[in-house]
Amino acid sequence: MRVFLDAAACKQADEEAMQRGIPSPVLMERAAYSVVEEIRKREFDLSCPVVLCGTGNNGGDGAAAARILSEMGYRPRVLLFGDPEKYSDQMKLQLHILSSCPAEVIRCSKEEDLKACDSATVLIDALFGIGLHRDLTGLFAEAVRYVNHLDCPVIAVDIPSGVNTDTGVVCGAAIKASLTVTFTCGKPGLFLFPGTVYAGEVVIREIGIRIPENLDRRRKLYNVEESDLCVLPERDESGNKGTFRKVLCITGSPDICGAAFLSAKAALRTGVGMVKIYTSENNRIPLNTLVPEALLSVYSEKQWEEDQLLRDMDWADIILVGCGLGTGKTALKILKTFLDHNHKPAVMDADALNLLAEHRELMRQPDFPCIITPHIGELSRLLEVSVQDLKENLISIVSRSADESGVVFLAKDARSVVAEPNGRVYLTTSGNSALATAGSGDVLAGITAGLLARVPEHPLAAAALSAFIHGRCGTLAAEDRSEASVNAADLLDYIQRFS
């Protein structure tokens, strides 16, 4: 499991390191040295390294890196930006040490000064790090645009200047780096879009700063790695299909069958013992053909009976509701019955959430372990928050909503966010654009229900691991095909690697 910290948590970690007695210049020396090491490892042409320094400690890292390069025999050129009166103490100290080294230092005060970057063979971006707190304007923004047109490797120190550490949002303009050397741990902005595109390759370097124990839980994000799959229980060699639990999929509708197929098949591939699909009678023949392994319980729109659904719910250990369910009158009756009577761990997806958004009187804290799996559009309707706002503040909105609603959120986006009420928040980085295809969400819902069947008492683990597995399936499928040509049904073939 990796951990990402937001800007405030990084500052707290820095301060605690200094309180433990590690002086700031020591931390800065390690930070700068690790940047130089990563650059040298890649054998870039170092005949003309150019370093852009801002006024804060990120600039101090840049100045220290320039000094280390000059001590190694290179001839760096250092471009200083911003008002010298605003230099941080560490920046002043680093400039003082640099003054006795054979490095060319240029103070940039106008656009024309940017031409000093033209001969760069490697460019080190140390304008702003985690201390960025407003949009780039004036010469800072000009410098960023200028650098982004140069044809040389660009190495960002800690984070590409202009990228918001917590959200990945570009603040006016941002450096497009080929490599980012970041310190201590990942920052969300390096993995969220669009920041991740600006960061290029991300290397995390230890510099002797510990992750604080007493962090506000919203400041710390968890990131699933393959090794975390070990939390899933071993499969019982002597088990029967009952051992591996029964999932009821309340999915599909008179006009939609594919969602019922994809979610049921994904649950089966994840290791569920038995799947029953409760669906419209129109889907009987195609589902019998597509998923012969699943039991079917079909209803007629004209003669819908609550008792049949209640019996099926009673049969199940885990319930998945919503994929392709529709939002008509029968779908609403089905959802009401589910909400009124369910006590089993459940996953709510797609139309179950759309119906909730339309019939807000149905919303209440569930008294069963519940995961909801909305995409951004569904989340926007459910929370009555704009898509733009969600895109820019997904982590904070989702974690707050999980606290307020008492359900585990798996908010699907290019980087999915999983949050449990008053608990951990996960950021998923395993996906790619292959997952942005119709039916992909149904596969995810099925995997989530399948994992919930394995760890019914741990909905957070089920949600976080399913987002990870789904993302990995997208990556593996794209390796065999291409990101553009992967279809949702293709993802089913890769679930087995993780089951």
Ligand X SMILES: NC(=O)C1=CN([C@@H]2O[C@H](COP(=O)(O)OP(=O)(O)OC[C@H]3O[C@@H](n4cnc5c(N)ncnc54)[C@H](O)[C@@H]3O)[C@@H](O)[C@H]2O)[C@@H](O)CC1
- Annotated binding-site residues read 57-61, 125, 129-135, 158, 161, 259, 324, 375, 412-416, 441-442
Per CB under 5 A, does 309 bind K ion? no
- Characterize the bridge pairing of strands 408-411 and 417-419: antiparallel
Could you say which of 57, 161, 165, 196 contacts K ion (CB under 5 A)?
A: 161
**Residue of minimal CB distance from K ion?**
161
Per CB under 5 A, does 61 bind K ion? no
Per CB under 6 A, does 280 bind ligand X? no
Could you say which of 183, 261, 468, 494 contacts ligand X (CB under 6 A)?
A: 183
CA distance between the termini of the chain = 19
Rounded distance, CA 460 to CA 448, Å?
10
Rounded distance, CA 494 to CA 491, Å?
6
Query: Following DSSP, what letter does each residue of 442-462 receive, concatenated?
Result: HHHHHHHHHHHHHSTT-HHHH
CB of 206 to K ion, least distance (A): 19
Per CB under 6 A, does 175 bind ligand X? no
**Considering only 48-56, 68-76, 217-225, 289-297, which stretch makes contact with ligand X by CB under 6 A?**
48-56
Nearer to ligand X, 219 or 454 (CB): 219
337 binds, among K ion, ligand X, none (CB under 5 to 8 A by kind): none
Chain positions 116 to 135 lying near ligand X, rule: CB under 6 A, are 128-135
List of residues 6+ apart from 52 with CB closer than 8 A:
62, 79, 81, 117, 123, 124, 125, 126, 127, 143, 147, 161
235 binds, among ligand X, K ion, none (CB under 5 to 8 A by kind): none
Distances (CA, A) of 226 to 223, 259, 465: 10, 27, 9
Give the binding-site size for ligand X (rule: CB under 6 A).
28
Nearer to ligand X, 207 or 492 (CB): 207
125 binds, among K ion, ligand X, none (CB under 5 to 8 A by kind): K ion
Q: Could you list the residues known to form a binding site for K(+), using ranges.
A: 58, 125, 161
Q: For residues 287 and 296, is the Cβ–Cβ distance under 8 A? A: yes
CB of 483 to K ion, least distance (A): 29
Cβ-in-10-Å burial (0-12, 13-18, 19+) of 3 comes to middle
Per CB under 6 A, does 56 bind ligand X? yes
- The single residue listed with the structure tokens 């707290």 is 12
From the CB of residue 482, how many other CB atoms can be counted at a distance below 10 Å?
A: 10
Chain positions 134 to 153 lying near ligand X, rule: CB under 6 A, are 134-136, 140
Nearer to K ion, 123 or 296 (CB): 123
Rounded distance, CA 113 to CA 303, Å?
78
Chain positions 59 to 78 lying near ligand X, rule: CB under 6 A, are 59, 61
Per CB under 6 A, does 413 bind ligand X? no
Instruction: Count how many residues are written for the chain.
Output: 499
Residue 92: phi, psi to the nearest 5? -60, -45
Chain positions 417 to 446 lying near K ion, rule: CB under 5 A, are none
Rounded distance, CA 90 to CA 101, Å?
17
Which residues bind to K ion, rule: CB under 5 A?
125, 156-157, 161
Contacts with ligand X by CB under 6 A lie at: 14, 24, 27-28, 31, 54-59, 61, 86, 88, 128-136, 140, 157-158, 183, 207
